[in-house]
Amino acid sequence: MKKKYIYAFSMIALGLTLFSCEVSDCKECEVVTYNVNTGSEISRQSATEYCGDNLNSIENQDPVIIGNEKTVWECY
């Protein structure tokens, strides 16, 4: 009887271990500003890691163009 309890506990612990982790893709992303006319880089912010829904939101943002400057997110 004791072996059945140990076996049941082991299976529950294994199940919780396998299904408690969420595997999501993460990437480093940075904001980069380019000159629209020349394509040259004007500025680049330091990279920050984003995962899951936050990463998805960033990767789906449209570029922002103000005057001759275009600002985009670049993730790698």
Say if 42 falls within a structural domain: yes
> Which tokens in the block code for residue 48?
């920050």
Q: Say how many domains are in the chain.
A: 1
Give domain status of residue 56, yes or no.
yes
Q: How confident is the model at residue 9 (pLDDT cuts 50, 70, 90)?
A: very low
Q: Which domain holds residue 48?
A: 24-76
Q: Is residue 71 part of a domain?
A: yes
Banded pLDDT at 12 (limits 50, 70, 90): low
List CB contacts of 50: < 8 A, sequence separation 6 or more. 26, 27, 28, 29, 58, 75
Q: Does the model's pTM come out above 0.85? A: no
Helical H segments across 21-76, by residue range: 52-59
**pLDDT, position 16:** 43
Tens-place pLDDT, residues 18-71: 444 455 699 999 999 999 999 999 999 999 999 999 999 999 999 999 999 999
Residue 38 lies in a domain: yes
36 assigned to some structural domain = yes
